[in-house]
């Protein structure tokens, strides 16, 4: 894979089956993916066999697989803080991630990623130690199969994430950096966060947004280049920080044509990267 290769998070294309997914990838000219295994249907043995055949014959590289849980409530920031990741139902959710780790290893995927759940920045908060323990358990499960665990940026500040990484003390834990989430959750500025987290960033979600400017109120996702991320500066910052991983397009905007949104993002990224190379 070339440095900062443009790819896509498969969830964004909303495919109904692996054939449809790979037909879309061919149409878009994208050879790098982050594979969403959030929907249990995509973890069924027949689908995994299907994916294995297509990955083996298409030249598409699956860099990361993603976990998530159907009962997470994203209606408000307060609700996802209470229901997201490993905050609740840990044993059941750990079983899901174990399954995804095994599937990932079979498919030749080297990392699993997702929202671990809200970690308070106060080390004295009892929830902090509990979350460090739980994330550490997941990291160890991944490590046992030779995989990395990538923590998706979300509710924590860059400083908070650095503290989590330090206290975890696991060499196989890094960051899937989503600059739009920094704005959507209102926890900082994307370019500054990328500079601070740089050495720990393994992959990036190419997504855009504007912040609400109000505490605990969602920002608004935008088409790439139409939000407040400032991609030219972000890409320069990532490059200067030594980032060489994939840029996986993600789009979750309601009532938007998924393929058109991904095509738009692909074209914008290719243009910005060409300018950066000058």
How far is Cα 237 from Cα 182, in angstroms, rounded to an integer?
16
- What does DSSP assign to residue 230? -
Could you tell me what percent of the chain has a pLDDT over 70? 100
Q: How confident is the model at residue 211 (pLDDT cuts 50, 70, 90)?
A: very high
Mean pLDDT of 12-35: 98
pLDDT surpasses 90 at 277: no
Q: Name the pairing type of β-strands 220-222 and 208-210.
A: antiparallel
Cβ pair 4, 275 in contact under 8 A: no
Alpha-carbon gap, residue 121 to 133, rounded angstroms: 15
Q: What angle do CA 103, 115, 56 make, to 5 degrees?
A: 25
Q: How far apart are CA 233 and CA 254, in angstroms?
A: 27
Using DSSP, state whether 200 is helix, strand or coil.
helix
Average pLDDT over residues 248-275: 97
Residue 220 pLDDT greater than 90, yes or no:
yes
pLDDT of residue 195: 98
Query: How many CA atoms within 13 Å lie on the side-chain side of 208?
Result: 19
Share of the chain above pLDDT 90, in %: 98
- Which residues have CB under 8 Å from 22's CB, separation 6+? 54, 58, 60
Cα–Cα dist 180/188, whole Å: 10
Encode pLDDT of 98-132 as tens digits. 999 999 999 999 999 999 999 999 999 999 999 99
Neighbours of 111 (CB within 10 A): 23
Which CATH superfamily groups domain 6-276?
Answer: Divalent-metal-dependent TIM barrel enzymes (3.20.20.150)
């Amino acid at each position: 894979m070339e440095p900062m290769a443009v790819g896509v998070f498969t969830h964004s294309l909303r495919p109904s089956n692996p054939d449809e997914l790979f037909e879309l990838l061919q149409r878009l000219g994208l050879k790098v993916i982050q594979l969403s295994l959030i929907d249990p249907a995509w973890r069924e043995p027949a689908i995994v066999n299907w994916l294995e055949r297509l990955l083996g014959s298409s030249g598409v590289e699956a860099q990361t697989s993603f976990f998530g849980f159907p009962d997470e409530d994203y209606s408000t920031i307060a609700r996802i803080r209470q229901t997201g990741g490993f905050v609740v139902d840990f044993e059941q959710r750990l079983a899901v991630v174990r399954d995804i780790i095994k599937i990932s290893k079979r498919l030749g995927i080297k990392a699993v990623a997702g929202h671990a759940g809200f970690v308070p920045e106060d080390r004295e908060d009892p929830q902090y130690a509990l979350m460090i323990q739980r994330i550490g358990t997941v990291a160890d499960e991944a490590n046992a199969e030779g995989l990395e665990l990538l923590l998706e940026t979300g509710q924590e500040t860059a400083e908070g994430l650095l503290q989590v990484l330090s206290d975890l003390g696991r060499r196989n834990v890094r960051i899937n950096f989503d600059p739009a989430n920094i704005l959507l959750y209102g926890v900082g500025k994307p370019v500054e966060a990328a500079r601070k987290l740089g050495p720990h960033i393994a992959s990036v979600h190419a997504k855009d947004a504007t912040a609400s400017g109000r505490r605990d109120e969602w920002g608004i996702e935008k088409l790439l280049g139409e939000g407040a991320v400032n991609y030219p500066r972000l890409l320069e910052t990532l490059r200067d920080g030594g980032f060489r991983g994939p840029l996986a397009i993600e789009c979750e905007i309601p009532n938007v044509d998924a393929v058109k949104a991904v095509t738009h993002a692909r074209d914008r990224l290719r243009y910005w990267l060409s300018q950066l190379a000058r």
